[in-house]
A = this chain, B = another copy of it.
């Protein structure tokens, strides 16, 4: 007996769905997902009502890790503008790795088109939370228009993630000066 539990079929399906849809797109077939997870289609449909539900659950499940890799810790007491810059520095660092293909939550929404798809709903919520983080830091930092700054930063984040994900830009020397310009223009401390 080992002390480490073998991942369950449910866990293997969630992991395969997250990895394969991120790398190959949401059009990936149920067969390919089950093969990668080592789970029969019959078992998959016992665990998830549909492929759509599996996609939604896989996006949901990776959220905690995604947020932890991007946002500063709650106890990180640097000034708001530094906490905002932290997010962009993290994204820039992630974008330099070969497995980076952009923001999974943006890509899922672009690919699915359908705003009512269960996975689109999950993805939208995750992105709204990121805008909410920017909004809260903007307010704390005394930005003269916190809503506007939060929208600007969200747009810039998605543009940067998208362009780095398709290889259109490396982001080197781009992210920090741009975010600084936006923070300065907003009068952020």
A-side interface residues toward B, CB under 8 Å?
A: 23-27, 101-102, 106-107, 109-113, 115, 120, 124, 127-128, 148, 151-152, 154-160, 162-163, 165-169, 173-174, 177-178, 181-182, 185
Contacts and interface: CB of A to CB of B under 8 A. Distances in A.
Nearest to A166: B109
A166 B110 contact: yes
Contact of A111 (B25, B127, B163, B173): B25
A68 to B, nearest CB: 22
Given A110-B165, A154-B168, A155-B159, 6 more contacts: A27-B27, A110-B110, A124-B168, A152-B174, A156-B156, A178-B182
Contacts of A106: 162, 166
Given A25-B27, A158-B159, A163-B158, A110 B111 contact: yes
A9 to B, nearest CB: 26
A181 B174 contact: no
Contacts of A185: 181, 185
B25 A113 contact: yes
Contacts of A165: 110
Contacts of A110: 102, 107, 110-111, 162, 165-166
Contacts of A173: 148
A178 B185 CA distance: 9
Given A113-B25, A168-B124, A174 B151 contact: yes
A115 to B, nearest CB: 6
